[in-house]
């Protein structure tokens, strides 16, 4: 008896790549003209800019335009509450609408002013799905690493697709990431300052069981370079990555873990899921994230990057080795932290975590 054909998600992958490229264009426009006044602070003290909102609206617009006949469910980070409440919020909403329309007319061959302010607010709010373990759900972080975006460092537009709770498509747009392998922190900082020029801006894309790929963010179609991780066991040669912000991940704890493993190189500190892309292409062998114990992770911070790492041959789990369960709604509950690495290094890492006595804060 012939076995049932396995499901593929090629069309959704193509649509996700187009949506991420379009939203990345908007982010690049805003980064060139970013002013402090166009930034609000959410109750959790994280900044959100007109680019976060604009990118969310554009991804929702692009996906629905390309797949008009499919039901649309999206779990996304932002909502329009702050844009409806105050005069300042309404002013931002007008700017976001103008920016979305400008980007659509410049990049997507549509007429100017094609979307009203209400349309844009509704597109932002179309990201209010609760997700779950049944059916299809897009998962979007319109700008991951907003602090990196504001600080002209790394950030990423991150879009994934869940099918029955498993990630089946993952795309990362990284406008400030060098296309060449990262040598050191100075090099990556220099790239960020040269966004939009040759050699800067990477898109990572993966489909379940079909591999992970990288290529220039500018351009069309699927990125062409397949990523396949090597498996070094020489810990004196490996490097680890972690958040730029020590508030997001305990740098003292990760230093202790690295020492336990025999890692001698200093860490590469980058904002956003650009770290997952960088891991998948071999810029470093380990990505560690150990937030404060009161912090609760959200799925959009990891969905796209997790598939890219796995499809490149890497491993990812929580600190106990349990797989990340993205099918439980908007939150991602897990044990202590998230670790991802090349396979042999990953095994040693889990063992080292068991052996260290001090736990993160």
Select the residue whose beta carbon is closest to Mg ion and give its number. Answer: 144
With beta carbons less than 8 A apart as the criterion, state whether 272 and 77 touch: no
With beta carbons less than 8 A apart as the criterion, state whether 360 and 248 touch: no
CB of 330 to Mg ion, least distance (A): 12
Structure-token pair, residue 162: 């869940």
Structure-token pair, residue 124: 């932002």
Say which residue the tokens 């498996």 belong to.
231
41, with CB counted inside 10 A (0-12, 13-18, 19+), is exposed
CB of 143 to Mg ion, least distance (A): 5
- Which entry of Mg ion, ligand A3P, none binds 245, CB below 5 to 8 A by partner kind? ligand A3P
Residues 54-93: x where in contact with ligand A3P by CB under 6 A, - otherwise, as a string: -----------------------x----------------
Closer by beta carbon to Mg ion, 3 or else 43 = 43
- Which entry of ligand A3P, Mg ion, none binds 107, CB below 5 to 8 A by partner kind? none
Select the residue whose beta carbon is closest to ligand A3P and give its number. Answer: 243
Is residue 141 a contact residue for Mg ion (CB under 5 A)?
Answer: yes
CB of 93 to ligand A3P, least distance (A): 20
C-alpha to C-alpha distance for 26 and 259, rounded to whole angstroms: 41
CB of 173 to Mg ion, least distance (A): 13
Q: Which stretch binds ligand A3P (CB under 6 A): 7-15, 80-88, 144-152, 335-343?
A: 144-152
C-alpha to C-alpha distance for 275 and 287, rounded to whole angstroms: 7
Is residue 119 a contact residue for ligand A3P (CB under 6 A)?
Answer: no
Is residue 107 a contact residue for Mg ion (CB under 5 A)?
Answer: no
**Residues designated as active site:** 52, 146
Residues 219-258: x where in contact with ligand A3P by CB under 6 A, - otherwise, as a string: ------------------------x-x-xx----------
Strands (E), the chain: 39-41, 47-49, 74-76, 136-144, 156-163, 166-178, 200-207, 211-216, 225-227, 240-242, 268-269, 286-289, 297-298, 315-318, 331-332, 338-341
- Which entry of ligand A3P, Mg ion, none binds 14, CB below 5 to 8 A by partner kind? none
Q: Which of residues 288-327 bind Mg ion (CB under 5 A)?
A: 301
Q: What is the CA radius of gyration of the chain?
A: 20
Structure-token pair, residue 113: 């002013």
Query: Comparing C-alpha atoms, which of 152, 155, 160, 153 is closest to residue 144?
Result: 155
Closer by beta carbon to ligand A3P, 143 or else 280 = 143
Angle, helices 117-125 vs 87-107, to 10°: value is 90
Residues 292-331: x where in contact with ligand A3P by CB under 6 A, - otherwise, as a string: x--x--x--x------------------------------
């Amino acid at each position: 008896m012939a076995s049932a054909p396995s499901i593929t998600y090629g069309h959704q992958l193509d649509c996700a790549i187009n949506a991420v490229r379009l939203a990345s264009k908007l982010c690049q426009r805003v980064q060139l003209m970013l002013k402090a006044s166009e930034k609000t602070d959410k109750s959790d003290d994280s900044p959100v800019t007109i680019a976060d909102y604009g990118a969310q609206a554009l991804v929702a617009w692009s996906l629905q335009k390309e797949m008009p006949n499919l039901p649309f469910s999206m779990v996304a980070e932002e909502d329009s509450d702050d844009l409806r409440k105050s005069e300042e919020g309404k002013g931002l909403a007008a700017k976001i609408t103008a920016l979305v329309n400008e980007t659509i007319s410049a990049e997507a061959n549509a007429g100017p002013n094609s979307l009203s302010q209400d349309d844009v607010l509704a597109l932002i709010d179309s990201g209010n799905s609760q997700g779950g373990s049944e059916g299809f759900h897009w998962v979007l972080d319109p700008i991951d690493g907003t602090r990196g975006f504001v600080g002209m460092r790394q950030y990423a537009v991150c879009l994934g697709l869940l099918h029955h709770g498993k990630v089946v498509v993952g795309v990362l747009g990284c406008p400030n990431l060098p296309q060449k392998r990262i040598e050191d922190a100075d090099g990556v900082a220099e790239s960020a300052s040269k966004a939009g020029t040759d050699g800067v801006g990477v898109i990572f894309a993966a489909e379940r069981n079909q591999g992970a790929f990288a290529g220039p963010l500018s351009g069309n179609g699927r990125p062409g370079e397949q990523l396949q991780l090597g498996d070094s066991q020489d810990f004196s040669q490996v490097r680890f990555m972690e958040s730029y912000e020590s508030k997001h991940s305990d740098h003292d704890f990760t230093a202790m873990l690295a020492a336990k493993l025999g890692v001698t190189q200093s860490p590469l500190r980058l904002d956003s899921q650009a770290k997952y892309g960088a891991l998948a292409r071999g810029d470093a062998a380990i990505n560690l994230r150990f937030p404060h114990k009161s912090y609760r992770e959200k799925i959009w911070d990891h969905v796209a990057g997790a598939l890219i790492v796995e499809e490149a041959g890497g491993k990812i789990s929580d600190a106990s080795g349990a797989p990340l369960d993205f099918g439980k709604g908007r939150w991602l509950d897990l044990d202590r932290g998230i670790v991802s690495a090349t396979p042999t290094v990953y095994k040693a890492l889990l063992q080292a975590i068991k052996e260290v006595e001090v736990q993160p804060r």
